[in-house]
Structure 1
Amino acid sequence: MRVFLTGATGFIGSAIVPNLLDDGHEVLGLARSEPSAELLRQAGCDVLKGDLRDLESLRRGSQQADAVIHTAFDHDFSRMADNCEMDRVAIEAMGSALAGTGKRFIVTSGLPPLMGRVSTETDILPPGAHGMPRVSEQVAMALIDSGVSVSVIRMPQVHDRNRQGFASYLMDHARRQGVSAYVGGGQNRWPAVHRLDVARLYRLVLDNGVNGEHYHAVGEEGVAVRDVAEAIGRRLGVPAISLSEEESATHFGWLDRIARMDVPASSVLTRQHLAWHPLQKAGLVQDILDSL
């Protein structure tokens, strides 16, 4: 199968590429620059020059492939509204090129923000979840009526030794502040998964996913933020401290909402339906301690 992959040189996409190639698929990777294009060529991919704002390149790549995997997203929080709108338009553009074909379109989304409750694959993600205007999942699912086979993979905190999702932002903040903080008892939880386990899940969804289904790329159901903060403290050699709710907003700034999140998530149905089981031994805390 020939697969058009956005974000092909990104954190997740670059791990998906060898999984697809090893499984016998061909990869057409979207590349914004010549250095990115060269990386893809060296990996054994075909290259399509373009980016998420170049809608014609997205349509062309979708038309040239048997399936599309969309992992590209700009995580610049200072421009989140614009980035979410760019993502929405990009998904619609690729969807228009796939209309009536029945081709598989795998779209990346976030987990349902059901504060304090373990979310499952059957929970519906509302528009504007977490105060973020990202609607990747909602826009993708609406394409089913136009004859596109849509599957959505929902992401927790994705990590390896180089990056640890939101924990990387907390680590940068702790480095600047000289302390690693959590709120109250720090028992609020973040789900997490290793980058290499995520890559395997995309391949499984490509081969065996069901139209209209949501899949949870969750390796750890919920890692206590206190454990995250203490690991950051050990890694940086700074104290880990508890903040009151009143102190949190002043200390964390825009990170306050992230530091307070309690969004555990299950992947039981994903594991049952696709026989997907995380294989990487390092969890989020270990990768923080071993971070480069």
Structure 2
Amino acid sequence: MRIFLTGATGVIGRRVVHELSTQGHQVTAVGRNSAKQETLRQAGAEPVAVDLFDTEGLRRAVAGHDAVVNLATHMPSSSTRMLFRSAWRENDRIRKVASSNLVDAALSAGANLFVQESFAPAYPDSGDHWIDESTPLVPAAYNRTIIDAEAAAQRFTDAGGRGVILRFAAFYGADALQVRDLIWWVRKGWAPLPGLPGAYISSISHDDAAAAVIAVLRAPAGVYNVADDEPVTHRAYVDTLTAALDVSSPRLPPAWLTPLLGSVGQVLSRSLRISNRKIQQESGWAPRLRSVREGWPEIVGALGAGGRGST
């Protein structure tokens, strides 16, 4: 299969590039500078420098491909920056404009598959009830444009293609800046995870998220939750991490702090027990790390020095 991939140098994208190339797919991957292009080339992809907002350039780049996989995002540079609405503007533009441009290019190319990343924590607080794909999204201000991105993928399906939307749970992995920030705070005796201790958090490791992208290349059109098998409570999430770090487990933030964290705090405080049943049934995918109870010890071990990383 000839696959056009955006977001190819991100934590999920670079894993996807490697696996697609290993499986023998022809991968064209977007890389905006020479260093990223060389990294993509070494991973087995053909790099292309194209602006996702240049509609004509994008049509030329996508021509001849069977599938488009859109993993492009622009995350704020730190956990602190995430609290500022302005830090999400470029990400909003990518989801609202670039996603639509990519669908137009895919349709023009006659591609039969379009895969769009989305965000499962946009589901509403659901207590201890399981959440499936039929639950309406209630995005916060900072991630409202996932509605636009999902609509673009649905437009691809409506035009006769196979549009697949992946609603990823909370990512974690050894190469995530946010994970390193979380570990730093936990070592300082504070857990930046607002909400009730008994609220649920659904997670997905970077490796398992990438494996899901590969798996849905053969799945029917539709929306799929990508989460591990066993969501845990906020208290268990922090306790599992601190046990892996061999440090004392800190208190969770008080309830009065959540409103001060804006829309990001609102989302983080939600209780989200997300079901992955549909993607397992339709694609055969299953997470290797069934919960953070398995994941945190592995990731802390990969970071080395008790979770401090190479620095």
What is the TM-score with the length of structure 1 in the denominator?
A: 0.85
Answer with 131-140 or 41-50: which moved more: 131-140
Q: What's the CA shift string for 1:227-269, capped at 9, x where partnerless?
A: 333345553846501343124455x677532441211200111
The 1-side partners of 2:39 and 2:201 are apart by 33
Residue 87 of structure 1 is matched in structure 2 by: 95
Residue 201 of structure 2 is matched in structure 1 by: 190
The 2-side partners of 1:95 and 1:185 are apart by 40
* Cα separation, partners in 2 of 1:44 and 1:191, compared to 1, 3 Å: same
Answer with 22-31 or 230-239: which moved more: 230-239
Residue 130 of structure 2 is matched in structure 1 by: 118
* Cα separation, partners in 2 of 1:140 and 1:184, compared to 1, 3 Å: closer
Aligned length: 285
Within the candidate set 156, 176, 183, 1:163 is matched to 176
* Cα separation, partners in 2 of 1:53 and 1:172, compared to 1, 3 Å: farther
CA drift of 1:71 comes to: 0.6
8 A Cα contact 2:72 2:94, kept in partner: no
> Is 1:99 the counterpart of 2:107 in the alignment?
yes
Residue 212 of structure 2 is matched in structure 1 by: 201
* Cα separation, partners in 2 of 1:103 and 1:124, compared to 1, 3 Å: farther
Q: Secondary structure at the match of 1:99?
A: helix
Q: Secondary structure at the match of 1:59?
A: helix
8 A Cα contact 1:71 1:107, kept in partner: yes
Q: What's the CA shift string for 1:98-141, capped at 9, x where partnerless?
A: 22625200000011512123221333435xx1332222212321
The 2-side partners of 1:130 and 1:168 are apart by 25
The 2-side partners of 1:119 and 1:30 are apart by 34
The 1-side partners of 2:234 and 2:60 are apart by 43
Trace 1:244-259 onto structure 2 (pairs within 5 A): 244-249=254-259, 256-259=265-268
Residue 25 of structure 1 is matched in structure 2 by: 25
CA drift of 1:95 comes to: 1.1
* Cα separation, partners in 2 of 1:119 and 1:60, compared to 1, 3 Å: farther
The 2-side partners of 1:65 and 1:102 are apart by 6
Residue 306 of structure 2 is matched in structure 1 by: none
8 A Cα contact 2:11 2:175, kept in partner: no
The 2-side partners of 1:242 and 1:282 are apart by 20
Q: Which amino acid aligns with 2:29?
A: G
Answer with 253-262 or 91-100: which moved more: 253-262
The 2-side partners of 1:125 and 1:258 are apart by 12
CA drift of 1:24 comes to: 1.8
8 A Cα contact 1:180 1:238, kept in partner: no
8 A Cα contact 1:6 1:72, kept in partner: yes
| Structure 2 unaligned spans of 5+ | 77-81, 304-308
The 1-side partners of 2:266 and 2:296 are apart by 20
The 1-side partners of 2:263 and 2:247 are apart by 24
8 A Cα contact 1:95 1:143, kept in partner: yes
* Cα separation, partners in 2 of 1:282 and 1:37, compared to 1, 3 Å: farther
Q: What's the CA shift string for 1:66-121, capped at 9, x where partnerless?
A: 11001110112342244213322111111112226252000000115121232213
CA drift of 1:142 comes to: 2.5
8 A Cα contact 1:179 1:238, kept in partner: no
RMSD (CA atoms):
2.8
* Cα separation, partners in 2 of 1:13 and 1:183, compared to 1, 3 Å: closer
> Is 1:230 the counterpart of 2:230 in the alignment?
no
> Is 1:148 the counterpart of 2:156 in the alignment?
no
Q: Which amino acid aligns with 1:274?
A: S
| Structure 1 unaligned spans of 5+ | none
CA drift of 1:282 comes to: 7.3
CA drift of 1:197 comes to: 1.8
* Cα separation, partners in 2 of 1:163 and 1:236, compared to 1, 3 Å: farther
CA drift of 1:168 comes to: 4.8
Q: What's the CA shift string for 1:202-234, capped at 9, x where partnerless?
A: 12211x1212x1122111442222233334555
Answer with 226-235 or 21-30: which moved more: 226-235
Q: Which amino acid aligns with 1:246?
A: W
8 A Cα contact 2:185 2:192, kept in partner: no
* Cα separation, partners in 2 of 1:281 and 1:266, compared to 1, 3 Å: closer
